[in-house]
Amino acid sequence: MNVLLDNSDVFLTGFKNTGILFAFSAVFSLILGTIVAGMRVSPAPAMRAAGTFYVNAVRNTPLTLILAFFALGYPRLELPQISFINAAIVGLSLYTATYVSEAIRSGINTVSVGQSEAARAIGLPFMQTLSLVVLPQAFRSVVPPLFSVFIALLKNTTVAAGFSVYEAGAIRAYLSERGEPLLPGLLWVALMFVVLVLGILTPLQRYLEKKWKVAR
């Protein structure tokens, strides 16, 4: 307990930045992943090919390599510079969006073909059919896999510690600099991640599942 209390500033700052990384990356990856999922089921071959290439290329690239590019390679390009935490958000969003896309695409495949055919029969184009008819039903089916992706995202934020981002994964280094015992510090970090998952994400998942199950 002394390790936690004596270094409360380190833990608070680390988990505050972890929360920022997670929240922004979750939102951006959900938006991008939904767009890519729509591309993958598009009737246009070029859109399907682009979506498939993005998913296969990014998902099979190690997250560490993606973050390394934005931390070390991007600053060398003649582009507007961004902070390390913003670079981490971009990298995490691009990476997580591929898994979000596949989860949503699996939900789209659970929607009856008759739903799409009925929408097209009344004159709705593909985008309106997707956004107004298919996606609202698909999201209800993919709450568990989506939250599994977001739980993985929460844990993946610790990778950003290796690229000068002060978040939960960097707490160990700060405790080491202060001469604190590392094992208790790491146990506290692990416990806090368990609390975030079991105390926030899991109840939210259950709430959405229950709400949308009734809505059906």
CA gap 209, 134 in Å, rounded: 18
> pLDDT (tens digit, 9 = 90+) per residue, 88-117?
999 999 999 999 999 999 888 888 777 777
Distance of CA 169 to the CA centre of its chain: 17
Could you write out the DSSP letters of every residue in 166-184?
-SGGGHHHHHHHTT--HHH
Q: In the chain, which residues have pLDDT < 50?
A: 214-216
In a domain, 93, yes or no: yes
Q: How many domains does one find in the chain?
A: 1
Task: Extract the tokens encoding 107.
Answer: 């939900």
Tell me what pLDDT residue 95 has. 95
- Residue 33 inside a domain? The answer is yes
In a domain, 209, yes or no: no
Q: Which residues contact 17 (CB under 8 A, 6 or more apart)?
A: 85, 165, 166, 167, 168
- Is 118 a member of any domain? yes
47 in a structural domain:
yes
Write the CATH number for 90.
1.10.3720.10
Assess if residue 185 is contained within a domain: no
Distances (CA, A) of 126 to 55, 106, 118, 120, 135: 21, 18, 12, 8, 12
Q: What is the pTM of this model?
A: 0.87
Residue 37 lies in a domain: yes
* Closest alpha carbon to 134 in 148, 117, 122, 155: 117
Q: Is residue 181 part of a domain?
A: no
**Phi-psi category of 167—alpha, beta or left, where left has phi over 0 and alpha has psi -120 to 50?**
beta
At 15 the pLDDT is 87
List the domain range (segments joined by +) for residue 96: 15-170
